[in-house]
């Protein structure tokens, strides 16, 4: 198994440490939303929604394991967009597994937009294939260029089928999500937006509350009224209150 420190989720945080923290937060946060999830998606407890959402949390940052992302993290070089990679992986995987259509699309959508606060929504949904080429994370044959050491990373962090992800999968994911989001009546569109928002909310709570110590989320000075730190502080307090309810 590759030493966890080899892969980074942020300049001062290992990839595996972050994922473990996010999963830990999920175990606390999910019970609060379970009944809402079942109602909004019109599913019963027999449908293993928790397992599917835990996979969303586990693999949402899969795109950080690309060669270019790991090479650039902690440097002044631009980081390639990683969210569409995880979204495409889920879209392809859940399509093959015949996961309920709305749940599949909502989870993929949530992963694709989980950094909307950084202004990265547009290309993630509209043209992730072009974005991947521009970012240099695909080879000339259209394969995702994973870091070479992912072959030694435990399969619980890097699943075997991720190796087969291609640029065509990004394009297919984006096309499918656009059709899902807009190819129906207004009431159905509203329902699907609620579903995607709910999945996104759960992912965001887990992701941010697990990364509150990152430098990028710290308040810079007393006049920093609107930075990302404010969102992080509010989420941190919210999750803290959730934990207090269950302890």
Query: Helix H segments across 143-182?
Result: 167-182
DSSP class of residue 237 equals H
What is the gyration radius of the CA atoms in the chain, in angstroms?
18
Structure tokens at 239: 């999750």
Locus of tokens 């992963």: 111
Per residue in 69-127, pLDDT tens? Answer: 999 998 999 999 999 999 999 999 999 999 999 999 999 999 999 876 544 456 667 88
How high is the pLDDT of residue 118?
A: 45
Neighbours of 193 (CB within 10 A): 13
Share above pLDDT 70 across residues of the chain, in percent, rounded to a whole number: 80
- 246 has a pLDDT exceeding 90: no
The angle, 0 to 180 degrees and rounded to 10, between the axes of the packed helices 186-209 and 15-40 is 150
179-215 pLDDT, tens digit per residue, is 999 999 999 999 999 999 999 999 998 998 887 655 5
Taking the C-alpha atoms of residue 152 and residue 19, their distance in angstroms, rounded to an integer, is 17
- How far apart CA 175 and CA 150 sit, in angstroms, is 28
**Lowest-confidence range among 88-92, 111-115, 220-224, 238-242?**
220-224
222 by DSSP, 3-state: which?
A: coil
Report all structural domains of the chain as residue ranges with CATH numbers, in order of start.
4-246 (1.10.3210.30)
DSSP character string of 32-50: HHHHHHHHHTT--TTS-HH
pTM: 0.85
Percentage above 90 pLDDT, the chain: 65
Mean pLDDT for all residues in the chain? 85
Q: What's residue 60's pLDDT?
A: 95
């Amino acid at each position: 198994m590759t030493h966890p420190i080899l892969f980074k989720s942020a300049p001062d945080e290992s990839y595996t440490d972050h994922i473990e923290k996010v999963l830990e937060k999920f175990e606390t946060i999910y019970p609060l939303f379970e009944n809402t999830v079942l109602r909004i998606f019109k599913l019963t407890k027999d449908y293993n929604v928790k397992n599917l959402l835990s996979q969303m949390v586990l693999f949402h940052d899969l795109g950080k394991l690309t060669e270019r992302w790991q090479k650039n993290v902690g440097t002044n070089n631009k980081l390639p967009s990683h969210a569409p990679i995880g979204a495409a992986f889920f879209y392809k995987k859940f399509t093959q597994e015949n996961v309920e259509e709305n749940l599949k699309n909502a989870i993929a959508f949530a992963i694709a937009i989980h950094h909307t606060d950084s202004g990265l929504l547009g290309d993630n949904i509209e043209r992730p294939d072009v974005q991947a080429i521009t970012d240099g994370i695909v080879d000339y044959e259209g394969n995702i260029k994973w870091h070479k050491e992912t072959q030694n990373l435990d399969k619980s962090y890097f699943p075997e089928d991720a190796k087969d992800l291609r640029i065509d999968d990004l394009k297919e994911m984006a096309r499918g999500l656009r059709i899902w989001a807009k190819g129906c009546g207004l009431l159905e569109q509203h329902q699907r937006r609620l579903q995607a928002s709910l999945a996104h909310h759960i992912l965001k709570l887990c992701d941010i509350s697990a990364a509150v110590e990152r430098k990028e989320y710290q308040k810079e000075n007393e006049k920093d009224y609107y930075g990302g730190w404010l969102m992080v502080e509010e989420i941190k307090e919210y999750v803290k209150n959730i934990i207090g309810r269950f302890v």
